[in-house]
Amino acid sequence: MFSLTLCVVLLWCCVLTTYGEDQRPLSEYIKYYETLSYSTSALSKQHDRHRRSLNPKSNPILLNFEAHGRKFKIRLRRHTSIFSDDFVAENAEFDPSKIVEGEVLGHKRSIVHGFISDGIFEGKIHAGNDEFHVEPSNKYFQGKQPFHSVIYKSEDVHYPYAHGSGCGMREQTKKWMEKVHASEIKDPRLQFHYSDNEPVFHRYRRAASQEIDSLKKSCKLFMQADHLFTENVGQGNKERALLKMTEHVQAINTIYPGIAFFGSTPDKIEFVIARMLVNDSNHENDPSNPFRQSNIGVEKLLELNSQQKRNERYCLGYIFTYRDFNDGVLGLAWVGSPEDAGGICEKERSYSDGKKILNTGVVTFINYGKAVPQRVSEITFAHEVGHNFGSPHDESGACTPGGSEGNYIMFARATEGSKPNNRKFSSCSIEKMAAVMRVKAVCKDHKCCFEKAGAAICGNAVVEKDEECDCGFKEDESCQKDKCCEGAQDTKGCKLVDGKKCSPSQGLCCNEKTCEPHPGNFSFLCQNETECRNVSYCNGVNASCPLAPAKPNLTPCMEGRKLCENGSCSASVCKAKGYLECQCSQEEKMCDLCCDISKDPTKPDCKPTSDIDGFEAMKQLPSAACDNFNGYCDVFLKCRKVDADGPLNRLRKKFLSKEAFLGYLAWIKKYWWAVVLMGVGLILLMAAFIKLCSVHTPSSNPNKKPARQLTLRRQQRLEEERNRRARQARGGPEGYPGPSYGNQPPPPYPGRDIEMRGHR
């Protein structure tokens, strides 16, 4: 028995060891990764030389490595524009020159951002349609490894809680926020100089008539980290906590500048960090630290952040934490409004329970007991900032397309962030945010919440204001091919070569050989036909490709599930009949495409298209919302409830998952001596068990003593005493009780035949 048990234990350990060496899964969420082991000393020397340069464009940092079947040639430089001119890092030593940005050489529209610490680059690489995350190996591996970094694609991130709560903006939270708004003690000085009797639409019109300063489009941030974030995400290092917060601001700066709030041209709204405050374990018991308690819920944490008076000086104030909030909540923020308190650019207001500044938000980096992937935390941050800008959750059919393109940033549930729409705002969100921007982004009495953005960056291959062209740096391959534009070199560059009319960096319609626009006689196709737009040809005037003409509205798209609207595949197919899209409540039809045929919002009549004349039976795409946004359609088009696993399956995943087994193996390797002691203890325990139980085991050996009964001694004595008393009551001796014959003598009796039995 013991030998069999020992063999099973040894076999299990061998299996774990083999699995750990061959597969080495990075985490429960990351399906595939590769390792990096470039020279950290060489990168550190380049970084030091670059930091000493007065001009951030000179002496760029070059980083070369191979991974995922391609060669990366990255050029980095200090990212100075991410910080404001008056930037302050409180109670921590921080070197802003560690923050870098750059591009991948050979990719025209590539972006690289992150930081360099101890000769190791950590950050994100956007190259074409691919996104890569680079992280240090010590985040996932214990002990020294032959590599210092890991790199993985965003599409290889599988987040099992992608349909969890994500944002904490639930009905209960909405009621709490409404209660806070209702308790406001009005102050006429804080009403945007509008009369309380003036209709809201008049306020919109008056605000819209004021111009938004095109130079003032930077939202200043006050970023805070509590002690839990520093200990876990920052690995106990304050500067690392500051670097990770900055990296997330860099990430949302790749999303918001591309939003066109007031037309078709992106408004290039960006975020700059003005102040940072980081707490560590020394502040855990500090009475002056409002975030010292570890058991604070998300609503209370948001309220505590809103009570910090310093937030009033900034566009937004955020706190990053590492608290596992209930129901899988990853973040919470006040929703901006054109007429009510909350969101960007808020000032201090009085409420029944004290003063607050409702320009705040909360983001946590742990969910269901696990650290969330970097990509998920970035999208969460962008989502909560979207609330501050005035966007509610996307809830209409047109703005929750799902399918292969995915849902947009403001979808109510958390997303993996791996699909194209996961990094975009829907038209519904942009419309709501634009309404807030028209009121709060304008300058009133020469006071502006938004401030002047950083100057254009010559050499980033993006043509910005005050630049005629931008092919990159002079030594780039793209600039070597572009004979029309002067590449960036020190303070020069980004100008057209004398006598040239355009550059290919300005758009597809510039002839790279003649440096003139292609002729406008429908000879040069610059945009292929899409589902909702026709082809587009160069017009012979501009270097950029003209916007392709939109196809007629209500043109079917997305395999007939959607209709074109103003050149975008965004309208529901229900609109063809004048209906609104809805979600069927019958369980077997929850993933059918349904329309409300009542045309009366008070009396909805939601039916699947299969039951409506003029429609074909259509199904939703996988990942589409269902059951009134409380679930999602799986690949089998069955509506899966959010958190449908249940507690037993959660326990199974927690203790029997691959990551758990790898954790057991790592523990065995680290505490091998404890495993040996436990093995010896197990052997001694089994020996003692056999010794104690052997005296009670019956044996056929006549030389052994009879087996003892498993009976308590006191109970045995009581049983013997009862038997003795019973014999005495029948009048027999204390030994065997003889038979009773009454008053007659014992046999034999005379005159009776006696049959003798026995041996003759």
Prediction pTM value: 0.62
Mean pLDDT of 400-421: 75
Phi, psi of 420 (to 5 degrees): -55, -45
Q: Is 75 in contact with 46 (CB distance < 8 Å)?
A: no
Q: pLDDT band at 697, cuts 50/70/90?
A: confident
What's the pLDDT at 34?
94
More confident residue, 398 or 176: 176
Q: Which amino acid is at 262?
A: F
Question: Which member of 384, 467, 486, 581 is catalytic?
Answer: 384
CA distance 625 to 633: 6
Could you report the per-residue pLDDT of 74-115, keeping only the tens digit for each?
999 999 899 988 898 988 889 999 999 999 988 878 999 999
Show the domains of the chain with their CATH numbers: 34-156 (no CATH), 212-452 (3.40.390.10), 458-542 (no CATH), 555-641 (no CATH)
CA distance 729 to 746: 21
Confirm whether residue 387 is marked as ligand binding: yes
Q: Residues 140, 100, 219, 88: what is their CA dihedral angle, to the nearest 10 degrees?
A: 90
DSSP string, 190-219: GSTT--TTS-HHHHHHHHHHSPPPTTEEEE
Mean pLDDT of 680-695: 87
Mean pLDDT of 636-650: 67
Q: Report the number of secondary-structure helices (H) and strands (E) in the chain.
A: 14, 34
Which position has the token pair 């020190």?
490
Q: pLDDT band at 184, cuts 50/70/90?
A: confident
Segment among 153-157, 197-201, 557-561 with least mean pLDDT: 197-201
Q: pLDDT band at 315, cuts 50/70/90?
A: very high
CA distance 184 to 171: 20
CA distance 211 to 221: 23
Q: How many CA atoms lie within 13 A of 14 on its CB side?
A: 6
DSSP string, 242-258: HHHHHHHHHHHTTTGGG
Q: Is 571 in contact with 396 (CB distance < 8 Å)?
A: no
What's the pLDDT at 17?
41
Nearest to 610 by CA among 631, 589, 580: 589
What's the pLDDT at 190?
46
Could you report the per-residue pLDDT of 527-540, keeping only the tens digit for each?
999 999 999 999 99
Percent of the chain with pLDDT over 70: 81
Residue 31 predicted with pLDDT over 80: yes
What's the pLDDT at 475?
75
Q: Is 384 a catalytic residue?
A: yes
Q: List Cβ neighbours of 638 (8 Å cut-off, separation of 6 or more).
A: 591
Q: Which two tokens stand for residue 721?
A: 């005493």
CA distance 430 to 193: 26
